[in-house]
Amino acid sequence: MTILYLYSELMGYNVPVLKELSFKYGAKIHVISWDQKKLTPFKIPEIKGVKFYKRSQFDKNSIIQLAKELQPNLVYVPNWFDKGYLPACLMMRKMGIPVVAGLDNQWRGTLKQWAGCLLMRIRLKNYFSHLWVSGPYQYEFARRLGFDKTKILFDFYSADTALFKKPKNETVSNSKKFLFVGRLEPVKGIDILLESWKSINNKDWTLTLIGNGSLKDRFKELDNVIVKDFMQPQDLVKEIRDYNCFILPSIYEPFGVVLHEFAAAGMPIIASDCCGAAPIFVRSGYNGYQFKSGNSKDLAHKIELIINSNKNTLQLMGERSIERSMVISPQTSAASLISVLK
């Protein structure tokens, strides 16, 4: 079996799915991915059965040529806005080869989305046989794009659950630390988080931000706030064992695999209600809290609820996060993609 990946920017969570496809299903995978203007410095490791190509070395004609040479059983395109990929997709579809497109944008019912649906309902099916969605908000979008429910796959994204999995019998840390991991950009709600943090009187707790971005230097001198550089996944998992609660305050977050990662790590979670992964991995009052996106007072209230919780409550929330993390895995993600061949 040969699979052609026409990818954008590879992330750490892609690795276990690629391994699953290669090791379990015996797939030979060829991955073209962006190597310029990347959002993070993640370094993709070597994976047996997977060959990587730099997108900068391909134009639409050379992509078509590679597809002809490979004769793949399946083509996967997570982001169809790279127009250089579309001619190859069109050719593969005409040859009867399944072409699966990823969809992580939420359906929000905007005028632009409605107009896009009207324009794209027929055209998209010329390029793609299936849509692979990350969650319920994306499923709504896929249906409005005219795809039959039998042509919509789930579990588009999965965290590396084995890597982030909390060690058995590990208890909640006594360190009193909140954690954010992600790009330090306005879209991630960093300003909202810091505004909320400043309003909280109890400073026995600290807040750590891990990542890079344009807002990084703004917070380095604040009391009880620690800023650390982006970490490769294997280094990050060593760091996070000392934290008590993860916060994702985004003002726009189509999905947010990071919520899956920290649910698997056994942490209580606070997430804004715009996060596409929140309905899957966060239950308010059960394993954490959701708050109104952009509302610093609501976020501050949820932070205080965690601060005022006892250790047993935080331990129980963490265990429930692990429970929630199990609904999606690299195994279910790979199986969803392979299912189009059966």
Where residue 24 falls among pLDDT bands split at 50, 70, 90? very high
Q: Give the model's pLDDT for residue 40.
A: 73
Where residue 94 falls among pLDDT bands split at 50, 70, 90? very high
168 pLDDT more than 80: no
Q: Give the model's pLDDT for residue 171.
A: 62
Where residue 5 falls among pLDDT bands split at 50, 70, 90? very high
pLDDT tens digits for 98-114?
Answer: 999 999 989 888 888 88
96 pLDDT more than 70: yes
pLDDT tens digits for 281-292?
Answer: 999 999 999 999
The rounded mean pLDDT for the chain is 91
pTM, entire model: 0.89
Q: Does CATH number 3.40.50.2000 belong to domain 161-325? A: yes
SS3 per residue for the chain: CEEEEECCCCCCCHHHHHHHHHHCCCCEEEEEECCCCCCCCCCCCCCCCEEEEEHHHCCHHHHHHHHHHHCCCEEEECCCCCCCCHHHHHHHHHCCCCEEEEECCCCCCCHHHHHHHHHHCCHHHHHCCEEEECCHHHHHHHHHCCCCHHHEECCCCCCCHHHHCCCCCCCCCCCCEEEEECCCCHHHCHHHHHHHHHCCCCCCCEEEEECCCCCHHHHCCCCCEEEECCCCHHHHHHHHHHCCEEEECCCCECCCHHHHHHHHCCCCEEEECCECCHHHHCCECCCEEEECCCCHHHHHHHHHHHHCCCHHHHHHHHHHHHHHHCCCCHHHHHHHHHHHHC
Q: Give the model's pLDDT for residue 10.
A: 85
Conformation bin of residue 182: beta by default, left when phi > 0, alpha when psi is -120 to 50: left
What's the CA angle centered on 14, arms 10 and 15, to 5 degrees? Answer: 110
Region 2-158+328-341: CATH code: 3.40.50.2000
169 pLDDT more than 80: no
Residue 182: which residues within 8 A CB-CB, separation 6 or more? 188, 210, 211, 248, 250, 258
- Residue at 341: amino acid letter: L
- % of the chain surpassing 70 pLDDT: 97
Q: Give the model's pLDDT for residue 173.
A: 67
pLDDT tens digits for 236-257?
Answer: 998 888 899 999 999 999 999 9
Q: Where are the domains of the chain?
A: 2-158+328-341, 161-325
Q: Contact, 29 vs 3, CB < 8 A?
A: yes
In whole angstroms, give the CA distance from residue 36 to residue 59: 14
Domains 2-158+328-341 and 161-325 share a fold: yes
Average pLDDT over residues 311-324: 94
18 pLDDT more than 90: yes
Burial of 85 (0-12, 13-18, 19+ CB in 10 A): buried
307 pLDDT more than 80: yes
Where residue 342 falls among pLDDT bands split at 50, 70, 90? confident
